[in-house]
Amino acid sequence: MAAFGQVTVPIAGSLDFTAGLRCERVNKELDYRHYDTRTDTGERLSSVEWSREEDWDALLPKAVLSWRMNKDAMTYFSVSQGDLAGGLNANGDDKETAKFDEQTSLNYEIGAKTAFLDNRLFFNAAKAHSQGIELELKARPLQGLDISTAFGWTDAEFDEYKNYTGKTPKQMPAYTFNLGIQYRVPCGFFVRGEMEGLGRTYYDEANTIKQDAFQLYHAKIGYEASNWDVYLYCNNLLDKEYFSSMSFGRFSVAEPRTFGVFASVRF
C-alpha cells in the first residue's frame, strides 16, 4: 500500500524546484511447514510448523532542481531515497530468525534532456552515484520512420556483506540496451522491429552462478487510428532459451517464442 505526491515551484526565471514524498507499507506473511517422514512407510517422524507476519514502513522523499536553458534543452539534479522492503526467509526452520531487514539507498542523478533538428532528434542522459550511466536517443530521419535506442550500464558491488564484499549483487545485468525501428504510413499501418540485449548476470551473491550476455528480437505489425489500434506481435523471434530469475535454488525459464494479437480502444 502506498501514497505519493509531488509539487513543483518556480524559483527564479527558468529554475524550478520539485519536492515529492512517497509513503508506503509492505505486509508479508509466511506459513512454514516442514515434515520429516520415513522413506519406506511414509510415517511422519517430526514436524516444524509456524507462522509469522511483519510490516515494513517507509517514507521516501525526493528533491529535483531543474533548469530549462531554452525550449529545447533542460538540465536537472535530483536526490531521492529508495527502499526495498525486507522479508521472511522460508529456507530455515527458525521462526525467530526468519525476518531480514529492508535495504535502503540514497540516489543522486544529474542529467540533461535535449531536442535537435526541429524536434526530430531527442537525447537524454543521466549518471548515478553507483557508477552507472543511462543514455537514450530518439530520431526521426524520415517522415514516418522512428528510431529509438537506449543503453544502461551499472557497476555495482557490495560494500559490506559478510564474505561477499566486492561481489556484484545478483540479478543485476552488467548492461542493458534496446534498439527499435518503426515505420508508419499516413493511413495508420505500421511495422516495428526491436532488438533487446542484457549483459552478464549473476544469480547468487558469491557470483558463482551466471548467465552470459544475450540478445532478443521482437516484431509488431498493425494499424493505429485516432481512438483505437490493433496489432500482431511476436516476442523472442528466434526462440532464445534463457533464465528470467532464480529463487530458492530454482531457475525460472523465460517465455519462448510467443505470438499474439493486441487491441485497445480509447474513450
For the segment 131-164, what is each residue's pLDDT rounded down to a tens digit?
677 888 888 888 899 999 999 888 877 777 767 7
For the segment 37-69, what is each residue's pLDDT rounded down to a tens digit?
766 666 666 777 888 888 889 999 999 999 988
- Over 60: is that where the pLDDT of 259 sits? yes
According to the model, what pLDDT value does residue 248 have? 63
* Cβ neighbours, 10 Å, residue 201: 22
The C-alpha cell of 228 is what? Answer: 483505437
Q: How confident is the model at residue 249 (pLDDT cuts 50, 70, 90)?
A: low
The C-alpha cell of 173 is what? Answer: 545485468
Q: How confident is the model at residue 124 (pLDDT cuts 50, 70, 90)?
A: low
pTM above 0.85, yes or no: no
Residue that wins the pLDDT comparison between 158 and 237: 237
Q: How confident is the model at residue 5 (pLDDT cuts 50, 70, 90)?
A: confident
According to the model, what pLDDT value does residue 119 have? 57
Residue range 85-95: mean pLDDT, rounded: 74
Residue that wins the pLDDT comparison between 175 and 109: 175
Residue 98's alpha-carbon distances to 30, 56, 57, 227, in angstroms, are: 9, 15, 18, 51
**Most confident listed range (28-42, 103-117, 130-144):** 130-144
Average pLDDT, the chain: 83
- Over 70: is that where the pLDDT of 128 sits? no
Do strands 214-224 and 2-12 pair parallel, antiparallel, or not at all (unpaired)?
unpaired
Helix, strand, coil share of the chain (percent; to 5):
0, 65, 30
